[in-house]
């Protein structure tokens, strides 16, 4: 007896459809081998340095309103101690530079300029703390990933050599899989660290420009204002 159309539809809908299992990032990390451990550590280090330096540079970029106006007013009135106190209360790299310049008032302009630049160099060095490590992560993570590529391919060819004529694709897929996973992980960490490093350098350049601007303004104030000697 021929099957009815409704029975055919029911039979088709009752047939289970195979579900494709997705591959999670965690599974990839676990199958990447021991090389994934140093890559993971480098990623944690890079994130920590970026967040810590980002917060520090954002604080350094905060400009105190009327800072130079107050400095000029106090210096013209001969109140150097008050001007120094303003610098101490202002948490900005340029404030430490101006404070040193105020202490050097009365000396030749070249000495005042040199003292300010020395303090500025120290401030920049403090703000650059961690930059070298971040650059190392940017260049080192891909290299470690490539190391995982080499070790994975060595493992794959080793399995092929031991299998002899009974070579199966599943036999060598583990080593190749490890090689590809470590390469991707190393490149991802390296690329992110590189972008983070360049972004922090951009923030640092803006802070340095502000420091230079305040220095020029202070030197112009000292050299052209006869009330400040």
Residue 128's pLDDT is what? 93
pLDDT confidence tier of residue 191, bands split at 50, 70 and 90? very high
% the chain with pLDDT above 70: 79
The answer to whether 100 and 115 have CB atoms below 8 angstroms apart is: yes
Q: How far is CA 73 from the centre of its chain?
A: 40
> What token pair was written down for 94?
């340029």
For residue 169, what pLDDT is reported? 66
Q: Is residue 23 classed as helix, strand or coil in its secondary structure?
A: coil
User: pTM for the complete prediction?
Assistant: 0.78
- Per-residue pLDDT of 123-177, as tens digits, reads 999 999 999 999 999 999 999 988 888 887 777 777 777 766 666 666 666 667 7
pLDDT digits (tens, 9 = 90+) for 22-79: 555 556 555 667 788 899 999 999 999 999 999 999 988 887 778 899 999 999 888 8
| The two structure tokens encoding residue 38 | 């140093």
Tell me which residue has tokens 């890559």.
39
Q: How far apart (Å, rounded) are the C-alpha atoms in residues 188 and 186?
A: 6
The first and second tokens of residue 103, run together, are 């202490």
Q: What is the pLDDT of residue 209?
A: 93
């Amino acid at each position: 007896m021929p099957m009815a159309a409704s029975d055919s539809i029911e039979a088709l809908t009752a047939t289970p459809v195979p579900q494709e299992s997705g591959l999670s990032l965690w599974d990839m990390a676990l199958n990447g081998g021991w090389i994934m451990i140093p890559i993971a550590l480098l990623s944690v280090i890079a994130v920590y340095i970026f967040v810590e330096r980002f917060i520090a540079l954002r604080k350094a970029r905060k400009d105190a309103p009327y800072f130079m106006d107050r400095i000029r007013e106090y210096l013209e009135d001969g109140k150097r101690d008050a001007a120094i106190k303003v610098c101490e209360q202002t948490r900005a790299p340029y404030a430490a530079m101006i404070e040193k310049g105020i202490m050097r008032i009365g000396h030749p302009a070249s000495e005042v300029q040199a003292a300010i630049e020395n303090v500025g160099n120290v401030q920049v060095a403090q703000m650059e703390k961690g930059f070298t490590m971040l650059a190392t992560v940017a260049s080192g993570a891909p290299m470690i990933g490539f190391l995982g590529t080499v070790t994975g391919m060595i493992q794959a060819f080793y399995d092929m050599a031991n299998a002899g004529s009974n070579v199966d694709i599943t036999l060598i897929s583990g080593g190749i899989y490890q090689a590809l996973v470590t390469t991707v992980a190393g490149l991802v960490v390296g690329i992110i660290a590189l972008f983070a490093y360049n972004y922090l350098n951009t923030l640092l350049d803006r802070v340095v420009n502000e420091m230079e601007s305040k220095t020029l303004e202070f030197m112009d104030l000292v050299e052209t204002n006869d009330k400040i000697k």
